[in-house]
Structure 1
Amino acid sequence: MRLLEGKRGLVVGIANEHSIAAGCAQAFVRDGAELAVTYLNDKARPHVEPVATDLNARLLMPLDVTSDTQMDALFKAIDAQWGQLDFLLHAVAYCPQKDLHGSVVDCSREGFGVAMDVSVHSFIRLARRARPLMKNGGCLLTVSYYGAEKVVDHYNVMGPVKAALESTVKYMAAELGPEGIRVNAVSPGPVMTRAASGIAHFDRLIDEARDRAPQHRLVTIEDVGNMAAGLVSSSARNVTGNIAYVDAGYHVMS
């Protein structure tokens, strides 16, 4: 039997075939899972729909995580389709450009609020709706980055935002553990995605990661997907509240 045979999962955050969420979704399906997939809006749909088709996704629905109406409709559809949910991947982050490229001290109140709402609180909102469907337990998984732990040049306000996300993972793991629901984060090294391209001097960050990592190589979306599949599987039934690094060892270096 494949690792995720008979499991049903929701993947939020696929932007295109090169995104981390797509790599995770491919690993989920390879290991036997059925998926529901979301896209941000009509502009994003043409980039996500071919990925969903390749995944043989059972559901493809719009989801702007700031819309409670869309989120409610999504979980209503999942309940009607399966009546349960075994795992959820949250791979969503956003900060307005002017705040993303500025210093933390200069970040606007509005920009900070938007970044926290989309990147962190949306995970909480998804978890709240997934919880009743995880009748036999399950796993909630999100995506972080090393900039949550240490200062990374040009990562700016997303460092504090990801730190908040990692703390949220730990607190939700403690709260939901008695129900058999595990909560983890996967923390990849830099991967060239559309979202990452918005970070200033990202090419330099990529080169530094390759040079400093003990394995002297970059990770791929397939590497991240393999870790994600393991974390949402029953093989990791006693793994919760963890931040799982997939970065060729970069995080151990001083």
Structure 2
Amino acid sequence: MALVMSLDSEMKGKSTIFFPDIVKPDIMNFINENGESKKISKGELVPKSILLNNFIYLKSGLLFYIKRTNNYTKPKFVNVITPNRLTDYHLLLENNCTCCKSIKVARDSEIIIVDKSLIKNLIKNDIELFTRFMFDANYFTERQTALAIFLLTSSPEDKLIKFLFDILVALKTPFTSMWLTIDIKLTREEIADILHISVIKLDLMLGSLKKNGMLTKEKGIFSVNAALFTELSPCPLGREDAQGCKSNNMLKFKTKNMIEINNL
């Protein structure tokens, strides 16, 4: 069975599911050239009009991307969006309903919004960049599906370990020390929402990790013992034949193949 700790930094990034990928340089250039910057305050919701018609890129701060379920007695699905990432590839080519999704500003943030019509026009003006958007959109969707399956089928303990690992990777933490610092402050309630569990269950798990010498907390900052991740699989679903989160189904979305498809 492949072990996640033995992977290089790039493969560690591919094995994460709690955080979207960092935006690629070519897309980043497009966003900077065509986007509009906005500063938004903690506690605000990004207006639906913006969510419906635009791509939203986080330049600085912290966002929670929230997806409502049909069961009002269960928690919502919450994604943490850290800087240099798009919040979603939802409705890439269509302007339809977004009633089940919202973006909450978790910390004072700066976003860049890009009109989706500009993305659509790339199919005529820059097919290679358009293909990159489509590739990343499909990869984003696949990882979101893997996350939903993982959250609904894994134990609370496995979810916590996987989240701690993913956040360390997202923060580009070098896995070279016994103790790894998670340099971001999240409340108990926020972590519980992200893991789709109760605050009480989270407190019990954190207490157990502290008791067993796997976790410390000082001034709101967690430090994790690297031994916690020793047997973590690269696959979020724990498959023994895992080669990372990107499945073989993604091969059909390779840039060259998509260009050929669009030229048929």
Specify if TM > 0.5: no
The answer to which structure has the higher strand fraction is 2
The TM-score, its normalising length taken from structure 1, stands at 0.29
Larger Rg: 1 or 2? 2
Looking at both structures, which has the greater relative contact order when contacts are Cα pairs under 8 Å and sequence separation is at least 6?
Answer: 2
The TM-score, its normalising length taken from structure 2, stands at 0.28
